[in-house]
Amino acid sequence: MMDTAEIRRRWLDYFERNNHTVVPSAPLIYDDPNLLFVNAGMVPFKPYFLGQQTPPWDRATSVQKCVRTGDIEEVGKTSRHGTFFQMNGNFSFGDYFKEGAIRLAWGLITASRDDGGYGLDPERIWPTVYTDDDEAFAIWHEQIGIPTERITRRDANDNYWHMGVPGPGGPCSELFYDRGSEFGADGGPAVDEDRFMEFWNLVFMQEELSEVRSKADFDVAGPLPKRNIDTGMGLERMATLLQGKDNLYEIDEVYPVLAKAAQMTGKIYGEHSGHSATSSHPDDVHLRVVADHVRSSLMLIGDGVTPGNEGRGYVLRRMLRRAVRAMRLLGYRDKALPELLPVSLERMKASYPELETDFGRISQIAYGEEDAFRRTLDQGTTILDTAVTKAKQSAAALGGNGTPTLPGSEAFALHDTYGFPIDLTLEMAGEQGVEVDRDGFRRLMTEQRQRAKADAKAKKSGHAHTEIWKELRELGATDWQAYQALSTEGKIVG
Ligand code: ATP
Ligand code: MG
Ligand code: MG
Ligand code: MG
């Protein structure tokens, strides 16, 4: 088994042997007003790609810490999305181009493990190319030797990169690995992105865009004077493949936290399904959420984020509270983070030794947030109990035939005034045989959201989206999507 630290080491060694300069990861918080967090390996290199600065080297490589808040709702549900992950990149600034990038990628993934490579089975690799990128298609087919039926052409929604504004752009070629029929249907990445798992994206920056209307609607002005390469390989995805795991939450850097959470709650991970990659049993999803969020929180606090009510601080707060809440939904009522965070530290310190020296500060911040959330929960529980009693009394007064129902306004007040999460309200009311008027709750949330939107519009401040976000919390997936749309306007890759 190849552990994640070894996969990372091999990456850097390989590109160093191929004349790339190793550049350390930038912190998760980077000086870029469009980004909440660094979300791709190329972010620190942006001034070079935009021609604003001259790069000190022609070739560089890095393993960049990334956080994608937009992926939070995927965690535990797909097999391949973490909120924190590491993107391995190799970059060419006017040096090698399409053929060089494809040959370098192919060389590393197919070289045998004894030769410092990853030793993937070449027959299982399915590249994609942009609709009309015949050049990339020919390199894959004629030079590398991939049969045409394994090369998929995909349109700009999947395989064209730009920054959402006039400037550099170019087609991508993504690498997918076929994990086998037990993971899903035949037919390639266009059919099943769980069986065919994307692990590497090669971006060929070759043209200048004069106008960008949306992801797939833009005008090309002409070729760039200097063509560049930007690639991103998901380190955790490669670890999933090389460690033969079903999903990202089972690799060496993540799984020990999941195992600890299972032990603390007396759950047996995956017992509800033969194949844990596809298990959507709530217990399994909660365990994966705990493992992911604890690790992300460790990395975020390590890079200087503190819990707060907006922006980056709110993302951290939400992750910590979601982890604690997931433990609670698994039946665990005691303080959880003092048990879990040190387990994550043990796994991450090999690659990030500074986490260990800083752990006193990091843990104090994390544990303090759990304590604050526990107080919120205690307060909310008292109020909820009163509301539940009232709901039962009203039902009894009506003759006791209908199911007692907690009014939407009570659920909303709990959420809004006391920060008491709606799923806990549902669960705890349910335990006492009381339903919640979900429609009423949703209506009040929508009204509040519209007010917030109007407010934000009026303010037109650069941070308006975080204000909206404050109002949207806890409603569920659609709100994360709305937030994602607002917070990743400056999203760089893919
Ligand atoms: P997906 O389609 O699976 O969401 P993506 O196309 O959004 O991935 P890119 O923006 O192309 O991803 O990023 C480059 C690489 O980073 C991907 O090929 C993948 O290996 C990795 N990656 C992206 N998002 C995540 C994530 N949330 N967790 C782990 N790895 C990721
Ligand atoms: Mg991609
Ligand atoms: Mg993709
Ligand atoms: Mg994605």
Pairing of strands 405-406, 435-436: parallel
Q: Report CA(104)–ligand 2 centroid distance (Å).
A: 18
Q: Report CA(193)–ligand 3 centroid distance (Å).
A: 8
- Ligand 1 contact, 68 CB (< 6 A): yes
181 and 202 part of one domain = yes
pLDDT of residue 484: 39
State how far the Cα of 352 lies from the Cα of 64, in Å rounded to an integer: 12
Is the ipTM above a cut-off of 0.95? yes
CATH number of residue 16's parent domain: 3.30.930.10
On whether residue 491 sits in a domain, the answer given is no
231 and 271 part of one domain = no
Residue 304 has a CB neighbour count (10 Å cut-off) of 12
- Which residues are CB-contacts of 424 (< 8 A; sequence separation ≥ 6)? 325, 328, 329, 377, 380
| 3-state secondary structure (DSSP) of residue 194 | coil
Strand runs labelled E in 401-450: 405-406, 435-436
- The structure tokens listed for 66 are 């990334």
Q: Report CA(216)–ligand 1 centroid distance (Å).
A: 19
State how far the Cα of 225 lies from the Cα of 467, in Å rounded to an integer: 41
Measured from the Cα of 197, ligand 1's closest atom is 3
120 and 147 part of one domain = yes
Strand runs labelled E in 235-303: none
| Whole-structure pTM value | 0.87
What are the two backbone dihedrals, phi and then psi, of residue 277, each rounded to the nearest 5 degrees?
A: -60, -35
259 and 375 part of one domain = yes
160 and 197 part of one domain = yes
Domain containing 136: what range?
4-242
On whether residue 164 sits in a domain, the answer given is yes
- List, as own/partner pairs, every contact residues 311-317 make where C-beta atoms lie below 8 angstroms and the sequence separation is at least 24, other chains included: 311/36, 311/463, 311/466, 312/29, 312/36, 312/37, 314/466, 314/469, 314/470, 314/473, 315/36, 315/37, 315/67, 315/69, 316/369, 317/369
Last residue of a domain, one of 436, 460, 475: 436
- Ligand 1 contact, 198 CB (< 6 A): yes
Residue of 64, 81, 109 to mutate, ligand 1, most atoms within 8 A of C-beta: 81
Q: State which residues of the chain have pLDDT below 70.
A: 274-278, 459-494
State how far the Cα of 442 lies from the Cα of 412, in Å rounded to an integer: 8
Residue 270 has a CB neighbour count (10 Å cut-off) of 18
231 and 290 part of one domain = no
234 and 309 part of one domain = no
Measured from the Cα of 158, ligand 1's closest atom is 6
288 and 425 part of one domain = yes
Angle at 491 between CA 68 and CA 179, to 5 degrees: 55
Quote the number of domains for the chain.
2
State how far the Cα of 249 lies from the Cα of 237, in Å rounded to an integer: 10
State how far the Cα of 294 lies from the Cα of 304, in Å rounded to an integer: 16
CA distances from residue 368 to 158, 301, 354 in whole angstroms, order as listed: 42, 12, 21
- Ligand 1 contact, 295 CB (< 6 A): no
- Which residues are CB-contacts of 448 (< 8 A; sequence separation ≥ 6)? 416, 471
Query: Which residues are near ligand 2, the ion (C-beta closer than 5 Å)?
Result: 201, 494
In sequence order, the β-bridge partners of residue 167 are 209
On whether residue 40 sits in a domain, the answer given is yes
Residue whose CA is at the smallest distance from ligand 1 atom 1: 198
pLDDT of residue 55: 97
Q: How far is CA 454 from the centre of its chain?
A: 29
On whether residue 452 sits in a domain, the answer given is no
336 and 260 part of one domain = yes
71 and 215 part of one domain = yes
Last residue of a domain, one of 242, 275, 295: 242
Measured from the Cα of 492, ligand 1's closest atom is 10
On whether residue 443 sits in a domain, the answer given is no
Query: Which residues are near ligand 3, the ion (C-beta closer than 5 Å)?
Result: 198
Measured from the Cα of 82, ligand 1's closest atom is 28
Q: What is the pLDDT of residues 181-219, one digit of tens each?
A: 989 889 999 988 889 999 999 999 999 999 999 999 999
On whether residue 490 sits in a domain, the answer given is no
- Ligand 1 contact, 347 CB (< 6 A): no
* DSSP state letters, 305-332: ----SSHHHHHHHHHHHHHHHHHHHTT-
Tokens 């894959």, residue located: 140
- Ligand 1 contact, 286 CB (< 6 A): no
Tokens 């930038």, residue located: 26
- Ligand 1 contact, 164 CB (< 6 A): no
State how far the Cα of 448 lies from the Cα of 475, in Å rounded to an integer: 11
Nearest ligand, measured from the Cα of 234: 1
